[in-house]
Amino acid sequence: MATPQVRPGLTHERVGVFTDAIFAIAITLLALELPRPEGEDFQRLGAFFGDHFGSFMAFAIAFLMLWFAWRAHHTLFDQIERVSQSMLLLHIPLLFFVAVLPYTTSLFGETNASHLPAEADGRALATGLFAGNEAILLLAQGALFTMVLAQRLHQPDADLRRLRGNARIYVAIGIYWLLTAAVSAWAVAAVPFLWLATPLVAAGTLRVLRMRR
C-alpha cells in the first residue's frame, strides 16, 4: 500500500521537533521560577528552603508531569506516518498549557509556601489552576493518541494495543486531575496528597484494560 501524500505543513517530523522545543523551554522556565536566597537568607538557608517548600514541591510535580507527557508524545510520533489537520489543531491547547505551566506552577508554589497561613487568599484558586492546567495537558495528550487511532495515522507495524492503552490512561489521569482541581475549592490542603495517587490511577486503568481483553 502506498504511503499517503503528506500535505505541506503536516510532516510529523517538523511538528515533533517544534513540540520538543516547547517542552524543553517549559522545563527550563520551571527552574527559573524557583525562589533564590538573597542577602540574609544565606545565614538561614535551611529555613529558607523550608519556607519555600511549596515552590520546590510544585517544581518536582510539574517537571515529572512534563517529562512523562514529553516521553508519551515522543513515543506516539515514533509510530505515526503523518499529521492530520485536526491533530495539528489539537496541538494548540496541548502546547498552550505546556507553555503556561511554569506560571501556574509558580502560583501554586508561592501560595502553598509554609510561611503563608493555610487560609491565605488565593491558595485554593492557585491550586485549582495548577491542577486544571495539568488536567487539560493530560486530556489533550490522551486525545492525540485517540485521534491517531481513529484517523489511522499510525504506521502499519505500530503497537495498537499500547496506543489504545496510553490513550485511556492519559484520559483517566486527566479526569482525575480535573477532579482534584474541583476538590481544591473546599479541601485545598488534601489536594497535593491526592496527586500522589496518580500512579495508582494509571495502574488501575491499565489493570481494567487487561481484564477487559
Domain spans, the chain: 12-211
CA distance 70 to 28: 14
Q: Which three cell numbers stand for residue 5?
A: 501524500
119: three-class secondary structure by DSSP: coil
Q: Is the pTM of this model over 0.85?
A: yes
Mapped onto helix, strand or coil, the DSSP state of residue 154 is strand
pLDDT by residue, tens only, the chain of 213 residues: 445 566 666 678 888 899 999 999 999 999 888 877 777 777 777 777 777 777 888 899 999 999 999 999 999 999 998 899 999 999 999 999 999 999 999 999 888 775 556 556 688 899 999 999 999 999 999 999 999 999 999 999 988 999 999 999 999 999 999 999 999 988 888 999 999 999 999 999 999 988 876
Cα–Cα distance measured from residue 189 to residue 76, given in angstroms and rounded to the nearest whole number = 36
Report the distance separating Cα 162 and Cα 147, nearest Å.
14
